[in-house]
Amino acid sequence: MPRLAQEARVTETEAQLAQQPQGNNKGDDKVGDTIELAVERAALLGALTDRRQADGRAGRDKRRARPR
């Protein structure tokens, strides 16, 4: 998934999580939906973090390889 699409989806999941009622019934479907959204958001944030770290390493490698 492209980075911009991931960032947009993170924003969507955050908005959906903010609208979810805070139910305490473990059998409630809304709780399951909230968990799914939270897991998806965490996975997207992890992927974005990994990509930013890789981009940072690539940038450092380019600067090091440049002759002075």
Report d(CA 18, CA 14) in Å as an integer.
6
pTM, two decimals, is: 0.65
pLDDT-based confidence at residue 26 (cuts at 50, 70, 90): low
d(Cα 20, Cα 3) in Å, to the nearest integer? 26
Closest residue by Cα to residue 33 from 44, 21, 46: 21
- Given a cut of 90, whether residue 53 has pLDDT beyond it is no
Residue, of 43 and 22, whose pLDDT is higher: 43
Torsion, CA 29, CA 35, CA 39, CA 41, rounded to 10: 90
